[in-house]
């Protein structure tokens, strides 16, 4: 059995201690947890700098980063709950599958999905994961990332799924630049040989893209007029979802 990292064990003790006691001085943390003063000082300094612990005079409490981690899932649930009735509305109207995705832990994750009621339909389960570079929703969700962030996430040569997959990071960046300007993205059978898609952004109060509303459809079974109607409806729904979130100070 592998041994635990001593520093991480001490950090875990500090987190649990502050959670139960709510606040404590560095001397109390060192004494009550039996951690050497010098070690406690280094750990506390690091945790304060990284936002895990907050200092108020001589006392320390758990920091805002824990609130961020906790609220992240709450925010996803909020987006899902607000979006779901609209997804149902779109699916019933157009007899297509509609979904909402987010950029989560460097992955594209579906948080809400309503499938078409047709027998011949596209199934996308909630919590499904999609690649960063192939898919309409993926393009929407990474189009505002900095070049440095994109370089850290994407290799120069990207995995190929179909003949239409963009496999060059530089070509993808040019595509993302256009997506960020037009605020609409398309998947031209880049992840599946039979499925295309269109995606529209959902915004927060700072005009930052926080989710993508998308519609995957069978490439050989949908005409341009039908897609244009879907796009118009999706833009309207995206605006409604974004407005609701903004009014809730999201």
Task: Please write the tens of the pLDDT for every residue from 60-79.
Answer: 998 766 655 555 667 888 99
Domain 72-247 matching CATH 3.30.450.40: the answer reads yes
User: How many CA atoms does the CB half-sphere of 22 hold within 13 Å?
Assistant: 0
What percent of the chain is predicted at pLDDT more than 90?
70
Per-residue pLDDT at 132: 96
pLDDT band at 157 (very low <50, low <70, confident <90, very high): very high
**Model confidence, pTM:** 0.72
Ranges in the chain annotated CATH 1.10.10.10:
6-62
Spatial distance between the Cα atoms of 150 and 132, rounded to a whole number of angstroms: 10
- Taking alpha carbons only, the member of 237, 221, 224, 226 closest to residue 118 is 221
Residues whose CB falls within 8 Å of the CB of residue 238, separated by 6 or more in sequence, listed in order? 200, 201, 202, 213
225 in Cβ contact with 235 (< 8 Å): no
Look up the CATH number of domain 6-62: 1.10.10.10
Domain ranges in the chain with CATH number 3.30.450.40: 72-247
């Amino acid at each position: 059995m592998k041994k635990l990292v001593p520093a991480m064990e001490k950090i875990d003790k500090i987190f649990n201690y502050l959670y139960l006691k709510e606040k404590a001085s560095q001397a109390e943390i060192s004494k009550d947890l039996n951690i050497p003063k010098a070690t406690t000082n280094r750990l506390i300094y690091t945790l304060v700098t990284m936002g895990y612990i907050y200092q108020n005079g001589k006392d320390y409490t758990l920091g805002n980063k824990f609130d961020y981690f906790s609220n992240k899932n709450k925010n996803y649930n909020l987006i899902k709950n607000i979006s779901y009735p609209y997804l149902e509305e779109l699916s019933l109207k157009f007899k297509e599958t509609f979904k909402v995705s987010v950029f989560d832990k460097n992955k594209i994750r579906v948080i809400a999905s309503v499938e078409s009621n047709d027998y011949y339909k596209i199934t996308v389960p909630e919590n499904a994961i999609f690649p960063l570079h192939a898919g309409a929703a993926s393009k929407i969700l990474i189009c505002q990332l900095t070049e440095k962030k994109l370089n850290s996430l994407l290799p120069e040569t990207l995995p190929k799924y179909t003949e239409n997959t963009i496999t060059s990071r530089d070509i993808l960046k040019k595509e993302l630049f256009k997506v960020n300007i037009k605020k609409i993205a398309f998947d031209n059978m880049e992840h599946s040989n039979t499925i295309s898609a269109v995606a529209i952004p959902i915004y927060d109060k700072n005009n930052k893209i926080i989710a993508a509303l998308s519609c995957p459809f069978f490439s050989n079974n949908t005409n341009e007029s039908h897609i244009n109607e879907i796009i118009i409806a999706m833009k309207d729904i995206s605006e409604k979802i974004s407005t609701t979130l903004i009014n809730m100070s999201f």
